[in-house]
Amino acid sequence: MIETASEAGTSIVGMLQADAGSLLSLGGRTAGVLQVSDWAFVATNWEYLLAGTVVTMLLTITSLSLGFLAGFPAGAIEVYSSGRLSDVVSTFGVLLRGTPIVVLVVLVHFGLPLPRFGSIPWLEVDLTAFLSATLALGLRSGAYQSQVFRGAIQSIDDGQLAAARSVGMSSRQAIRHVVFPQALRRSLPGFQNEFTIVLKDTSIAFAIGLAELLTRAENLYLQPGQGTAVLEVILTITAIYFVLTFVTNRSLEAIHRRYSIPGGTE
């Protein structure tokens, strides 16, 4: 435990102590100004940043998937079961939604006895950190997705359930064939929302040293002599994030349009 704790000590405090003063002026060159030499520095490290982008995307996808797998049943449970199970699920939901994601990520990474994996070649990512980040981001996303799903289920007119039952379907069949298909479709906007949120929040993995985009940005400008490139590096990764969220949203919207029921509000 001491090992991980001291890791905690150095990685986060180290970053907290990143001396703002010394970054701002470096031997005559200044940081707040855009310079060609700094852009060149960014350009030379394109592969490093690309790997970071890939890690960010991977993390987003794994977290969202976990979120869906956890959130979908959680939402259904909150609607359809009463009693202990539903209470437990909703309490977990409140806990996950009420705690800052940073706290969740460090809690998972330093608090849970996770197995120590190695790292992946080329991507050079610490798998344990990746797992912690996925768990934290995924479970939190699941807590939000459960609410989306719950709302979608509840928005489906009771009458359709009555119709399904009067044709002889059991409650379970009615829910499975009439409620869920429509609820899933109605959850799409909320899911799309979650995608962007999780994508941006992968930057939180910075706190546990996962080599995603933001961490790599810092690694670049903290290299000796590269302090003036801070602005260029951060602008670059900000642009990358923007492109990612933009493209993702447009694609999801296109998919949504393609699969929507004509004339329906789904």
Partner 1 sequence: MSVDETEPAAVGDLPGRRRLVVLVVGAVFWTWLLTRWIYHNAALDRIFSTLGLPGLIRSEVPVRDREPWLSPEPFASAADSVASFGHGSGLPEVATGWLVWLCDLLAFSIESAPALAEGAYVTVYLTVVSILLGLAIAVPLSVARVYGGTVLGRLSLAYTELIRGTPLLAQLFLLYYGLPLASVIESLGFVGSGWVPGPAAFVAIVGFTINSSAYQSEYIRSALQSVDEKQLVAARSVGLSKWAGIRHVVLPQGLRYAIPGWTNEFVYLIKYSSLAAFITVSELFGRAENIVTDTFRTTDVYVILALFYLALVLTTALAMERVAASVAIPGVGQPDGDR
Partner 2 sequence: MSLLHFENVSKSYGDEEVLHDVSFQLDAGDVEVIVGPSGSGKSTLLRCVNRLTEIDDGVISLEGEDIHAMDENTLRRRVGMVFQDFNLFAHRTARGNVTLGLTEVLGLSKHEADERAEQYLQQVGVADQADAYPAELSGGQKQRVGIARALAMDPDLMLFDEPTSALDPELVGEVLAVMRELADDGMTMLAVTHEMGFARSVASRLAFLEDGQIVERGPPEQLFEQPQHDRTDEFLGELTDLNR
Provide the residue type at 175 as one letter.
I
Q: Which of residues 158-197 bind partner 2 (CB under 8 A)?
A: 159-160, 162-170, 173, 177-178, 181-182, 185
Tally the residues of the chain: 266
- 115 touches partner 2 (CB under 8 A): no
Which segments of the chain are extended strands (E)?
A: 25-26, 29-30, 119-120, 125-126
The site partner of 127 among partner 2, partner 1, none (C-beta below 5 to 8 Å per kind) is none
The pair of structure tokens assigned to 20 is 């703002």
What per-residue string of b and e applies to 17-29 under the rule 16 or more CB within 10 Å gives b?
eeeeeebeebeee
Give the residue with the Cβ less far from partner 2, 78 or 266.
266
User: Taking CB under 8 A as the rule, does residue 97 contact partner 1?
Assistant: yes
CB of residue 261 to partner 1, shortest distance in Å: 18
Q: Measure the CA–CA gap between 197 and 138, rounded to whole angstroms.
A: 12
Applying CB under 8 A, which part among 61-69, 99-107, 119-127, 173-181 lies near partner 1? 99-107
Q: Is 199 strand, coil or helix?
A: helix
| Contact between 204 and partner 1 per CB under 8 A | yes
Q: How far is the CB of 174 from partner 2 (least distance, A)?
A: 9
* Residues between 43 and 72 with contacts to partner 1, criterion CB under 8 A: none
Phi-psi region of 124 (alpha: psi -120 to 50; beta: other; left: phi over 0): left
Q: Is 228 exposed, middle or buried (0-12, 13-18, 19+ CB in 10 A)?
A: buried
262 binds, among partner 1, partner 2, none (CB under 5 to 8 A by kind): partner 2
Closer residue to partner 1 (CB): 55 or 101: 101
* Closest distance to partner 2 from the beta carbon of 154 (Å): 15
Q: How far apart are CA 36 and CA 44, in angstroms?
A: 12
Closer to partner 2 by CB, 85 or 261: give it.
Answer: 261
Site stretch for partner 1 (CB under 8 A), options 60-68, 127-135, 166-174, 250-258 = 250-258
DSSP string of 24-49, one letter each residue: HEETTEESSS--HHHHHHHHHTHHHH
Are the C-beta atoms of 241 and 140 separated by less than 8 Å?
Answer: no
95 counts as binding partner 2 under rule CB under 8 A: no
Nearer to partner 1 among residue 1 and residue 47 (C-beta): 1
Nearer to partner 2, 3 or 158 (CB): 158
The residue within the footprint of partner 1, chosen from 214, 216, 220, 226 (CB under 8 A), is 214
What are the backbone angles phi and psi of residue 92, rounded to the nearest 5°?
-55, -40
Count of residues touching partner 1 (by CB under 8 A): 73
The binding site for partner 2 (CB under 8 A) comprises: 157, 159-160, 162-170, 173, 177-178, 181-182, 185, 261-264, 266
